[in-house]
Amino acid sequence: MDVLYKYLPPARIDVLERRTMRLSQPPALNDPHDALVAIRSRLEEQRGDAPVLADDFKVERYYAQRFREDLAQQLGVLCFAADPHIHLMWSHYCLNHTGYVLHIDPLHSFFDRELVLSLPPFWLEKRFDGVPHPSSVTYSSARPMYYMEDGVPLDVLFQKSEHWGYEREYRSLMNLRDGKLIETTKHDKWPVYLLDLPPGLIVGATLGLDATTETTDRVTAACKGAGVPVYKIVADHLTYDLRSVPLTAL
C-alpha cells in the first residue's frame, strides 16, 4: 500500500496538532477477541475418546489469558485502514462523519524498528525485524487453533473475525517502551503510551462529510503548517459511494 488511513473522531484532533498517536495494548482495542488465543493441549488428543476434564479448560483458559496479559505489558498496536471511503468506518470511528482521516506513509522510516518480546512457551526474549511495518489483517469465520506445547506466533495479532472485514485493517506492532507513558486517570483501564509522529509520516488529511467549521479550520491549519493537502468527503449524487475532493475545490 502506498498510503494507509487513520480514522479519528473530532475529539482526537490533537493527534494531528500535537503529532502524537497512541500505541494501544491488544486488550484495549474494541475487538473482545483481540489476542485472545484459541488454544488447546496435545494431551487432549492423546486421550482419544476419554472425557475432557474441567481442569483442562482451566489450564487452557489460563494460558490464553496469560498470553494476552503478557503481551499487553510489552506490545502496542497501531491500526490503519486501506481505504478512506469506508462508510462504516466514518460512522463508527469518526463520530458519524464529523471527524477526519489522516493519510499515513507506510514506507516511512518511522516504521523501521525492531520488536522485542518474551513469548511462550519458554518466555525467552525474541527479536523480530520488520514486524513494525504495517501488515494486512486476515479475516475468517473460524478461529485458528494453537497448541500450548508449540507456543503462539505473532500471526494471531493479524487474525480477526470476518465481522470486522469491512475495516480492511493494517497493523503495526511496536514495543510500548517506544512510546512515552503519560499520566492516566482512574477511568483509564490501560496505561496510555504516545508515539511522536515525525515529519513526513502524515502525507494528507480528509475531512468528514459533516465536519464542523471548527474541525475544518483546525485540520486545515495543522496541515498547512506541515505542507500537506486536505480533502473533503462528498456523497456521490449518482451512486452510494463516498468520494474525496480537494478542499480548495469546494
What is residue 43's predicted lDDT score, i.e. its pLDDT?
60
Domain that holds residue 236: 4-249
What is residue 130's predicted lDDT score, i.e. its pLDDT?
72
Whole-angstrom Cα distance, residue 240 to residue 250? 20
Report the run of H or E that residue 134 belongs to, with start and end: none
All residues at 6 or more sequence positions from 13 whose CB lies less than 8 Å from its CB, including other chains: 100, 215, 218, 219, 222
Domain count, the chain: 1
For residues 222 and 247, is the Cβ–Cβ distance under 8 A? no
Report the run of H or E that residue 249 belongs to, with start and end: none
pTM: 0.89
What is residue 26's predicted lDDT score, i.e. its pLDDT?
93
What is residue 149's predicted lDDT score, i.e. its pLDDT?
75
Q: Rg of the Cα trace of the chain?
A: 21
Output the CA angle 158-160-165, nearest 5 degrees. 110
List the chain pLDDT tens, one digit each, 250 residues: 899 999 999 999 999 999 999 999 999 999 999 988 887 777 655 555 544 444 555 667 777 888 888 889 999 999 999 999 999 999 999 999 999 999 999 999 999 999 988 766 555 567 777 778 999 999 999 988 888 777 778 888 999 999 999 999 999 999 999 999 997 777 778 899 999 999 999 999 999 999 999 999 999 999 999 999 999 999 999 999 999 999 988 7
Helices (H) and strands (E) in the chain, counts: 5, 17
What are 76's three cell numbers?
A: 502496542
What is residue 46's predicted lDDT score, i.e. its pLDDT?
52
Report the run of H or E that residue 242 belongs to, with start and end: strand 242-246
What is residue 120's predicted lDDT score, i.e. its pLDDT?
61
